[in-house]
Amino acid sequence: MSQTVAVPSRVQPAAVARKRRVDWLPYLMVAPTVVVLSVFSLLPTLYGAVVSLYRVQFVELLDFVGLDNYVGIFTNPEFWSGLRVSVIFSFFSVVLTVAVGFGLALLANRALALVPTFRTVVVMPWVTSYVVVYLIFKWILNFDDGLLNVVLYAVGQRKVGWLTDPFLAMASLIVVDTWRAAPYAMILLLAGLQTIPHELYEAAATDGASGWRSFWSMTLPLMKLPLTIVLVLLTIVNLNTLVAMLVLTGGGPGRATEPLSLLMYNQAFQYFQMGPAASIAMFIFALNLVLAAGYVRLLRSD
Amino acid sequence: MRTAGISRRAFLGALGAAAALPLANACKAIPIGGGGASATSGTVEFMAHFTPVGTNDVRDDASKAVWEDFQKKYPNITIKWQQTAWQTIGEKYMAAWSAGSAPDISLFSPANIAPALLLGSVEDLTPHLNGWPAADKEDYPKVWWDVGTYNGKKYIAPLLLFGALPIYRKSLFQEAGQKVDQIRTWDDWRKALQAIVKDGQGRPPTDPAFDESSVKVWGFAQYAARNSGASIPYFNTFIVERLGKQMVEPPDWKADRWITPEAIDSVTTITNWVTKDRIQPKSTLNMNLSDADKFFASGLCAAYNFGTNTYPTARKNMQFDPMDAVFERIPSPDGQKWGPIGINHWSMGVSSKSKNKEAAFTVMDFWLTKAADIEFAKTAGQQPKRTSSLSDPFFDKPENAYVKTFADAQKEWAVPDLSAPVRTDDILLEAYHSIITQNVPVRDAMQQAYDKYTKLLSQVPKEKLPQA
| Residue B425's CATH number | 3.40.190.10
Mean pLDDT score of chain A: 89
Whether B4 and A24 lie within 8 Å, measured CB to CB: yes
pLDDT for res B18? 42
Whether B283 and A144 lie within 8 Å, measured CB to CB: yes
pLDDT for res A19? 62
* Cross-strand pairs, B82: B47
Both B200 and B57 in one domain: the answer is no
pLDDT for res B463? 84
Both B193 and B321 in one domain: the answer is yes
Whether B15 and A35 lie within 8 Å, measured CB to CB: yes
pLDDT for res A23? 87
Question: Which residue is closest to A78 within chain B, CA to CA?
Answer: B452
- By the 8 A CB rule, do B233 and B239 touch? no
Both B352 and B438 in one domain: the answer is no
Where in chain A are the domains? 68-301
pLDDT for res A11? 53
Both B387 and B333 in one domain: the answer is no
Q: Is B225 on the interface with A (CB under 8 A)?
A: yes
Q: Is B92 on the interface with A (CB under 8 A)?
A: no
DSSP per-residue string spanning B20-53: HHHHHHHHHTS--S-----TT-EEEEEEESS-TT
Whether B286 and A142 lie within 8 Å, measured CB to CB: yes
Helix (H) or strand (E) holding A292: helix A274-301
pLDDT for res B211? 92
Both B388 and B449 in one domain: the answer is no
Tell me the one-letter amino acid at B100. G
Both B312 and B297 in one domain: the answer is yes
Give, as one character, the DSSP assignment of residue B418. P
pLDDT digits (tens, 9 = 90+) for B365-387: 999 999 999 999 999 989 999 99
Q: What ipTM describes this predicted complex? A: 0.82
Whether A158 and B211 lie within 8 Å, measured CB to CB: yes
pTM for this structure? 0.84
Both B226 and B102 in one domain: the answer is no
Neighbour-count burial of B345, counting CB atoms closer than 10 A to its CB (0-12 exposed, 13-18 middle, 19+ buried): buried
pLDDT digits (tens, 9 = 90+) for B334-359: 899 999 999 999 999 999 999 999 99
Whether B426 and A39 lie within 8 Å, measured CB to CB: no
Spatial separation of the C-alpha atoms in residues A109 and A222, rounded to whole Å:
15
Note the CATH number of domain A68-301: 1.10.3720.10
Both B170 and B319 in one domain: the answer is yes
Q: Is B424 on the interface with A (CB under 8 A)?
A: no
Tell me the one-letter amino acid at B159. L
- Residue numbers of the domain that contains B239: 163-341+419-464
Residue A34 has pLDDT above 50, yes or no: yes
Cis before residue B103, ω within 30 degrees of 0?
Answer: no
Q: With beta carbons under 8 A apart, name residues in chain A contacting B6.
A: 24
- By the 8 A CB rule, do B23 and B52 touch? no
In a domain, B29, yes or no: no
Q: With beta carbons under 8 A apart, name residues in chain A contacting B213.
A: 149, 153, 158-160
| Closest CA relative to residue B158, chosen from B375, B370, B409, B385 | B385
Spatial separation of the C-alpha atoms in residues B367 and B59, rounded to whole Å:
13
In a domain, B73, yes or no: yes
Per the rule left: phi > 0, alpha: psi between -120 and 50, beta: everything else, B164 is beta
Both B407 and B433 in one domain: the answer is no
Give, as one character, the DSSP assignment of residue A216. I
- By the 8 A CB rule, do A166 and B437 touch? yes
pLDDT for res A210? 87
In a domain, B289, yes or no: yes
Helix (H) or strand (E) holding B415: strand B414-416
Helix (H) or strand (E) holding B160: strand B157-169
| Closest CA relative to residue A197, chosen from A276, A77, A109, A270 | A109
pLDDT for res B6? 43
Phi and psi at residue B303, in whole multiples of 5°?
Answer: -135, 155
Residue B437: which of A23, A35, A254 has the nearest Cβ?
A254
How many Å from the N-terminal Cα to the C-terminal Cα in chain A? Answer: 28
| Closest CA relative to residue B132, chosen from B353, B390, B386 | B386
pLDDT for res A296? 83
Low-confidence stretches of chain B (pLDDT beneath 70)? 1-40
pLDDT for res A64? 94
* Cross-strand pairs, B105: B46, B350
Both B119 and B200 in one domain: the answer is no
pLDDT digits (tens, 9 = 90+) for A111-141: 666 777 888 888 889 889 989 999 999 999 9
Task: Decide the pairing of beta strands B218-221 and B301-307.
Answer: parallel
* C-beta atoms surrounding B419 within 10 Å: 26
- By the 8 A CB rule, do B336 and B136 touch? no
Give the count of domains, chain B: 2
Whether B119 and A143 lie within 8 Å, measured CB to CB: no
Both B391 and B258 in one domain: the answer is no
Tell me the one-letter amino acid at B33. G
Both B445 and B297 in one domain: the answer is yes
Q: With bands split at pLDDT 50, 70 and 90, how would you rate the model's confidence at A17?
A: low
Q: Tell me the residue ranges of DSSP E strands in chain A.
A: 54-57, 60-64
Rg of chain A, C-alpha, whole Å: 25
Whether B22 and A39 lie within 8 Å, measured CB to CB: yes
Spatial separation of the C-alpha atoms in residues A70 and A129, rounded to whole Å:
35
Q: Which residues of B93-130 are buried (b: 16+ CB within 10 A; e: fewer)?
A: bbbbbbeeebbbbbbbbbbbbbbbbbbebbbbbeebbe
Residue that finishes a domain, picked among B399, B416, B433: B416
In a domain, B302, yes or no: yes
Closest approach of A137 to chain B, Cα-based (Å): 13
pLDDT for res A58? 77
In a domain, B294, yes or no: yes
Q: Is B85 on the interface with A (CB under 8 A)?
A: no
Spatial separation of the C-alpha atoms in residues A131 and A244, rounded to whole Å:
8
